[in-house]
């Protein structure tokens, strides 16, 4: 049976990682892989996470299954983290949260749930969007349509085109939105645009599906969730996929949450029963460790304070790197969009040919789309990165 299978092409990001590892140059810089890195170029374990793990080591008494819904405390605290402890939907008991294997697990289980609700469901995703969105959602059998999002000339949100396109959506269609720190562009909706999108979704009877994977790395925990919270206040049904990979640094622990906001508490219970049935048939139970760490941090005031301080420092560092890169590139052209964008990622707006020159001549690695991980730089490597980009851009003027 296996002899009929053909080797698939390697994932572009994984291929880039392999090429980078094999590059012997000592001054090479990896701006492709989407993980946070500190000034030393490492992806560290946060001190609050270390402390929580130590407490778990001393107090954990069992490794028994935690059930398809995951840990109750984790689910409750994640709902409060994303929506805010005083959110009306939480007070009205219209929010049901389940723990998932990472943000990917949340996205895929949301897709399976949508398939149960409406087998012919159409999901609208932004152009561009995170590369795994379409495989995760489309792999469940959902129809995918795209709406324009990024203006390639200004590298800002093309909001008029986005709205014009979504006017074509039909009642019952699903709209996937990035809660903050849009991946891969870094271009986010502002407060007025969130309000306008909420108006459109409400008027047309659409279902909002929010992927918030970088809460706290844009402008802070509450500011980054502002659009999501406003939307959840207005609309009767919302789906939210949340990840702890970036803001807790728990990449390999695969820790995420899926939230269903329903029109009534009773509808929420019925919806969650369907979701749990889908989970049971896929992976049965989520892993425990990462969620236990997050629960320990969010439920322990001194750990919560320590974690938020670390997260705020990460956020500030990214903002400082954005400002520094934008200023360093100013003589080469208008790169001010880098400073206006938020989160770990930005498009440089250079061509694949220029990306290739940066990689081959300078050892500066990024995706062919010119998406860079801002947090992949340090204050030491940034001047060299800016000099290389300016050199390559200047050759084609």
Last-in-domain residue among 299, 325, 360: 299
Q: Same domain for 247 and 131?
A: yes
**Same domain, residue pair 138 and 193:** yes
Helices 382-395 and 352-362 sit at what angle, rounded to 10 degrees? 130
248 located within any domain: yes
**DSSP annotation string for 25-68:** -TT-EE--S-S---TTS--PPPHHHHHHHHHHHHH--------T
- How far is 211 from 103, CA to CA, in rounded Å? 8
Whether 269 and 320 share a structural domain = no
pLDDT of residue 80: 98
Domain contains 256 = yes
Q: Which two structure tokens, joined as six digits, stand for 24?
A: 């012997």
> Does residue 58 form part of some domain?
no
Q: Are 192 and 52 in contact (CB under 8 A)?
A: no
298 neighbors 304 (Cβ within 8 angstroms): yes
CATH of the domain at 147: 3.40.640.10
Task: Please check whether residues 98 and 170 belong to one and the same domain.
Answer: yes
What's the CATH number where 25 sits?
3.90.1150.10
Do 147 and 163 touch, CB atoms closer than 8 A?
Answer: no
Q: Do residue 207 and residue 335 come from a single domain?
A: no
pLDDT of 220 reads 96
74 shares a domain with 100: yes
Residue 299 burial (CB < 10 Å; 0-12/13-18/19+)?
middle
Catalogue the active-site residues: 130, 211, 213, 246
Give yes or no: residues 361 and 285 share one domain: no
Dist CA 56 CA 306 (whole Å): 17
In this structure, the answer to whether residues 213 and 321 fall within a common structural domain is: no
> CB of 12 within 8 A of CB of 130?
no
**Is 134 among the domain residues?**
yes
- Residue 207: give the domain boundaries: 65-299
Provide the 3-class DSSP secondary structure of residue 126.
Answer: strand
Domain's final residue, options 268, 299, 330: 299
The per-residue b/e assignment along 259-292, b for 16 or more CB within 10 angstroms, e otherwise, is bbbbeeeeebeebbeebbebbeeeeebbbbebbb
Within this chain, do residues 31 and 72 fall inside the same structural domain, yes or no? no
**Quick check: is 308 in a domain?**
no
Tell me how far apart the alpha carbons of residues 11 and 183 are, in angstroms, rounded to a whole number: 17
Give the model's pLDDT for residue 396: 61
pTM score of the predicted model: 0.96
Per the structure block, which two tokens stand in for 213?
């994977």
Identify the H or E element spanning 144.
strand 143-148
Distances (CA, A) of 189 to 66, 151, 277, 305: 37, 13, 35, 29
Query: Rounded to an integer, what distance in angstroms lies between the CA atom of residue 293 and that of residue 296?
Result: 5
- Asked if 93 and 276 count as a contact pair (C-beta separation under 8 A), the reply is no
Q: Of 299, 331, 352, which closes a domain?
A: 299
Whether 47 contacts 306, CB under 8 Å: yes
Q: Would you say residue 116 lies in a domain? A: yes
- Please count the structural domains in the chain: 2
As separate numbers, helices (DSSP H) first and strands (DSSP E) second, the chain gives: 16, 13
Give me 46's structure tokens: 């946060």
381 belongs to a structural domain:
yes
Written as six digits, the tokens of 325 are 């890169």
150 and 26 in a common domain: no
Q: Is residue 205 part of a domain?
A: yes
Q: Are residues 290 and 353 in the same domain?
A: no
Burial 200-231 (b: 16+ CB within 10 A, else e): bbeebebbbbbbbbbbbbbbbbeebbbbbbeb
**In terms of DSSP bridges, do strands 29-30 and 364-365 run parallel, antiparallel, or are they unpaired?**
parallel
**Residues 221 and 352 grouped into a single domain:** no
- pLDDT averages per 10-residue partition of the chain, 397 residues: 90 85 93 93 96 97 96 98 97 98 98 96 97 95 97 95 98 98 97 98 98 98 97 97 98 98 97 97 97 98 98 97 97 94 95 95 94 96 96 81
């Amino acid at each position: 049976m296996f002899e009929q299978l053909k080797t698939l092409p390697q994932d572009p990001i994984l291929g880039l990682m392999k090429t980078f590892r094999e590059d012997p140059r000592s001054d090479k810089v990896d701006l492709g892989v989407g993980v946070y890195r500190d000034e030393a170029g490492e992806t560290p374990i946060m001190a609050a996470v270390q402390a929580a793990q130590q407490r778990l080591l001393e107090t954990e008494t069992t490794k028994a299954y935690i059930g398809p819904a995951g840990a109750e405390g984790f689910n409750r605290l994640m709902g409060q983290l994303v929506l805010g402890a005083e959110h009306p939907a939480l007070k009205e008991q219209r929010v049901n949260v389940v723990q998932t294997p990472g943000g990917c697990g949340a996205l895929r289980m949301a897709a399976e749930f949508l398939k149960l609700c409406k087998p012919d469901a159409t999901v609208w995703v932004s152009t561009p969007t995170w590369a795994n969105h379409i495989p995760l959602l489309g792999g469940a059998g959902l129809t995918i349509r795209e709406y324009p999002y990024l203006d390639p000339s200004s590298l800002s949100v093309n909001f008029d085109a986005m709205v014009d396109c979504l006017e074509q959506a039909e009642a019952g269609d699903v709209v996937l939105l990035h809660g903050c720190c849009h991946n891969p562009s870094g271009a986010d909706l502002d407060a007025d645009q969130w309000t306008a999108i909420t108006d459109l979704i409400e008027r047309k009877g659409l279902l909002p599906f929010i992927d918030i994977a970088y809460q706290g790395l844009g402008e802070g925990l509450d500011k980054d969730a502002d659009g999501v919270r406003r939307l959840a206040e207005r609309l009767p049904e919302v789906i939210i996929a949340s990840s702890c990979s970036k803001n807790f640094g728990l990449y390999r622990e695969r820790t995420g949450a899926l939230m269903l906001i329903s029109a009534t508490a009773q509808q929420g219970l019925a919806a969650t029963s369907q979701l749990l049935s889908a989970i049971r048939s896929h992976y049965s139970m989520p892993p425990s460790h990462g969620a236990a760490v997050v629960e320990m941090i969010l439920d322990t005031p001194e750990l919560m304070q320590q974690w938020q301080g670390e997260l705020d420092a990460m956020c500030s560092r990214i903002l400082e790197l954005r400002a520094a890169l934008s200023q360093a590139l100013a003589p080469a052209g208008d790169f001010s969009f880098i400073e206006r964008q938020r989160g770990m990622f930005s498009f440089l707006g250079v061509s694949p040919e220029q990306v290739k020159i940066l990689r081959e001549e300078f050892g500066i690695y990024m995706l062919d789309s010119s998406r860079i991980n801002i947090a992949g730089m340090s204050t030491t490597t940034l001047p060299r990165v800016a000099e290389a980009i300016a050199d390559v851009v200047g050759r084609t003027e």
